[in-house]
Amino acid sequence: MTSLTPSRSDHTRYLCGLAPVIPVLVIPDAAVAADLGRTLIGAGLPVLEVTLRSDAALDAIRAMAALPGGHVGAGTVLSADDARRAKDHGATFAVSPGLTDAIAAACEDLDLPLLPGVATATEAMAARDMGFDMLKLFPAEAVGGRALLKALAGPLPQLSFCPTGGITTATAPDYLALANVTCVGGSWIAPEADQRARDWDAIGGRARAAASLQGQVSP
Ligand code: 3PG
């Protein structure tokens, strides 16, 4: 069975296929954004989600959007206004913890690809009916993690996921081993403390390790 409407997820599906991990970034100071972005992109993580959870987020998006080789999106998009401001500052995609008509319509109007969040089969079906087939599962660990994703693959095989929320470098390979998981998201790569300390070696090391992650079921 095919999707009821044309896919609105073509670009986000492409982005999710570029690397096994999308770093979820809470950036405390826009002054670190360019170096942070260069570190992550250089380590093999070209798709960056800057959450709209800090005052510096929009300026950080603008700084990162100018970097070559990266794809910078806004995360924690909760409203049409968030989507508009993100696009104005150079975001090329949006990520939301959920999916509302207002956000979907705004992203459509703005031509801003949206990776919407779902947490249940009903929400996944609603997203599919709206034309989204590349979804964020959020908060992944809290709502059932790998067991939920395996269960959803039966009735909803056309949907792919970027699980995010509570995933670590240790658990990511188990997620990546699932056929309906394209990549995972996580904040472990660039914690705020390392950003403030400008510890690019530590962040780069975690980013390189994340970029080389592959699907592997733990024993
Ligand atoms: C978020 O939006 O905060 C993401 O879900 C990140 O979750 P994490 O901090 O558990 O990786």
With bands split at pLDDT 50, 70 and 90, how would you rate the model's confidence at 81?
very high
> Pocket of ligand 1, candidates 115, 164, 194: which has the most ligand atoms within 8 Å of its Cβ, to mutate?
164
How many whole angstroms from 154 Cα to the centroid of ligand 1? Answer: 26
Domains (ranges, CATH) in the chain?
Answer: 11-205 (3.20.20.70)
| pLDDT value at residue 76 | 98
With bands split at pLDDT 50, 70 and 90, how would you rate the model's confidence at 5?
low
DSSP summary character for residue 92:
S
Residue 173 has, within 13 A of its CA and on its CB side, a CA count of: 11
Task: State how far the Cα of 155 lies from the Cα of 59, in Å rounded to an integer.
Answer: 42
Give residue 36's Cα distance to chain centre: 17
How many whole angstroms from 206 Cα to the centroid of ligand 1? Answer: 16
Is residue 139 reached through a cis peptide bond, with omega within 30 degrees of 0 on the bond before it? yes
Look at residue 98 and tell me whether its pLDDT is greater than 90.
yes
- Residue type at 26 in one-letter notation: V
CB within 6 Å of ligand 1 — which residues? 24, 51, 75, 138-139, 164-167, 185-188
Alpha helix segments (H runs only) across 43-196: 57-65, 80-88, 101-110, 121-129, 140-143, 145-153, 172-176, 192-196
155-178 per-position pLDDT tens digit: 999 999 999 999 999 999 999 999
| pLDDT value at residue 216 | 82
- Residue type at 186 in one-letter notation: G
Mean pLDDT of the region 100-125: 98
| pLDDT value at residue 218 | 74
Look at residue 217 and tell me whether its pLDDT is greater than 90.
no
Look at residue 96 and tell me whether its pLDDT is greater than 60.
yes
13-70 per-position pLDDT tens digit: 999 999 999 999 999 999 999 999 999 999 999 999 999 999 999 999 999 999 999 9
| pLDDT value at residue 161 | 98
Look up the pTM and report it: 0.95
